[in-house]
């Protein structure tokens, strides 16, 4: 299966996991549970699920050390926040220009595609980089490809 297809499927699985955990938190806890609690729980579950799937099945990354893994998780999360901003900005821009639900949805779709494309590139270059790719090329011992 092509990486792009797997990446898209994992994004969908992550979103479903996020929403499933949100609904579970609301169902299991008292009805007075703040929305933020379910959203944070769902976001954490979706993040963890997507990180594990990407790490193993997209980037074929292995565990090396706790420090390395922490660096990867922090970068992965930071890029996720940054690309979410791209998604939200695109969605809001379409809404403000055309003032319609159709435009808002179109902006959301375009923003999601742009965000996920950027996230994949950032993760490949900075998060799940191969030991000899970024560092060695930066030092000039391998030709740039």
> What integer pLDDT is reported at residue 31 of this predicted model?
67
Measure the CA–CA gap between 115 and 135, rounded to whole angstroms.
25
Domain carrying residue 47: 1-58
Looking at 42-46, 52-56, 80-84, 133-137, which range is the least confident one? 133-137
Query: Do 40 and 89 reside in the same domain of the chain?
Result: no
Q: What is the pTM of this model?
A: 0.81
Number of domains into which the chain is organized: 2
CA distances to 32, 50, 113 from 25, rounded to whole Å, are 11, 20, 29
Whether residue 43 sits in one domain with residue 6: yes
Quote the Cα angle for 69-72-129, to 5°: 110
**Whether 72 and 43 share a structural domain:** no
Compute the average pLDDT of residues 75-91. Answer: 94
The pLDDT of 71-96, averaged and rounded, is: 95
Q: Using alpha carbons only, what angle is made at residue 88 by residues 84 and 93, rounded to the nearest 5 degrees?
A: 145
Same domain, 35 and 79: no
């Amino acid at each position: 299966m092509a990486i792009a297809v797997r990446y898209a499927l994992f994004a969908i699985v992550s979103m479903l996991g996020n929403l499933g955990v949100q609904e579970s938190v609301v169902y299991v806890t008292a009805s007075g549970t703040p929305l933020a609690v379910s959203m944070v729980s769902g976001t954490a579950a979706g993040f963890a699920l997507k990180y594990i799937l990407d790490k193993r099945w997209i980037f074929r990354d292995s565990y090396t050390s706790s420090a390395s893994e922490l660096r990867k998780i922090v970068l992965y999360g930071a890029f996720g926040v940054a690309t979410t901003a791209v998604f939200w900005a695109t969605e809001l821009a379409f809404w403000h220009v055309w003032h319609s639900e159709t435009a808002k949805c179109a902006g959301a779709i375009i923003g999601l595609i742009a965000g996920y494309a950027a996230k994949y590139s950032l993760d490949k270059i900075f998060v799940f980089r191969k030991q000899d790719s970024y560092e060695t090329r930066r030092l000039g011992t391998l030709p740039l490809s």
